[in-house]
Amino acid sequence: MRPNSSAPQPDPTHPPIPLMPRLTWPSLFTALMYAFMYFPIIVLGVYSFNDSRYSASWDGFSLRWYRALFSDRRLLSALQDSLTIAVVAVAISAVLGTLMAIGLARYRFRGKALYRGVSYLPLIIPDIAIAVATLVFLVSMAVPLSLATIIAAHMVFCLAYIAVVVSSRLQRLDPNLEEAALDLGATPTQAMIQVLIPQLAPAIFAGCLLAFVLSMDDLLISSFTAGGGANPLPIEIFSRVRTGVKPDINALSVVLILGSALLAGLAEYVRYRSDRIRQST
């Protein structure tokens, strides 16, 4: 092993930018900011294994909070409520949002600008305003608040986010493929289901993941549309942590963070795969 052989070779396809300001402080500062981003998460992780009830001092390694977590019926049923809401709202929104994105890309009609503007509103209007408006509307229509009303309210932002992600993919799509299918005798419906939808699949999936994460994270809209009928996880966590530190919530955080890291990894993998396919065609 010669000492030089392991030295990093400059990438021939991307020559380094000459005469860039060669300061080291940006890299040092960036490292510090990475530490800032992960510090709270690491603190939660460490304390979730702490035997102390008040987690002020380190009283030794313990799994007691994880045992407490997995025997906490109330918390587990809250998790189940949240998963039900997110899965149902995202599944319906995937269909509605994708259809809306295709419709907006394909047709011109009177009031299209207005329709498009309304479709962006859930991304723009603050959650608290949407939550308040939905509550007032449901009460004035005498709709009883329940799990179903949370799902209905979550669908509003889920379908908007899915439509935005699908729309941006549609803009970069080759329209010739679908026309070819039509020329070869496919009906418009066949062409859409067998040609267009498979091309959109990575974007639909990415939009669904985003909507799922937002639905699982939502506190305000759920709080205003739940009534006594349902108790999703953010409401349960919020009511517990408001009154101080709860070590079993540390354990829950670690479980949820691992879950979302898994989802993030999945999302990046799908994006990487679809980028590769796009580059090779």
Site residues for other proteins, window 80-119 (CB under 8 A)?
95-97, 99-100, 102-104, 106-107, 109, 115, 118-119
Q: Is 143 one of the binding residues for other proteins (CB under 8 A)?
A: no
Exposure letters 127-138 (e unless 16+ CB within 10 A, then b): beebbeebbeeb
Do residues 228 and 171 lie in contact, with contact meaning Cβ atoms separated by under 8 Å? no
Nearest to 90 by CA among 246, 271, 218, 248: 218
Rounded distance between C-alpha atoms, residue 95 and residue 232, angstroms: 24
Q: How far is the CB of 74 from other proteins (least distance, A)?
A: 17
Q: Is 168 one of the binding residues for other proteins (CB under 8 A)?
A: yes
Q: Which residues inside 262-281 make contact with other proteins, applying CB under 8 A? A: 263-264, 268
Which residues share a beta bridge with 61? Answer: 50
- CA dihedral (217, 221, 224, 226) in degrees, to 10, reads -60
Do residues 52 and 58 lie in contact, with contact meaning Cβ atoms separated by under 8 Å? yes
Q: How far is the CB of 38 from other proteins (least distance, A)?
A: 7
Q: Which of 145, 203, 204, 237 binds other proteins (CB under 8 A)?
A: 237
Do residues 171 and 110 lie in contact, with contact meaning Cβ atoms separated by under 8 Å? no
Return the range that interacts with other proteins (CB under 8 A); candidates 61-69, 70-78, 200-208, 258-266.
258-266
Q: Is 174 one of the binding residues for other proteins (CB under 8 A)?
A: no
Return the range that interacts with other proteins (CB under 8 A); candidates 73-81, 83-91, 121-129, 199-207.
121-129
Residue count of the chain: 281
According to the 3-state scheme, what is the secondary structure of 111-143?
A: CHHHHHHHHHHHHHCCHHHHHHHHHHHHHHCCC
Q: How far is the CB of 191 from other proteins (least distance, A)?
A: 9
Q: How far is the CB of 22 from other proteins (least distance, A)?
A: 8
Q: Which residues inside 176-195 make contact with other proteins, applying CB under 8 A? A: 179, 182-183, 185, 187-188
Q: How far is the CB of 48 from other proteins (least distance, A)?
A: 10
Q: How far is the CB of 3 from other proteins (least distance, A)?
A: 21
Tokens 């108790």 correspond to what residue?
A: 231
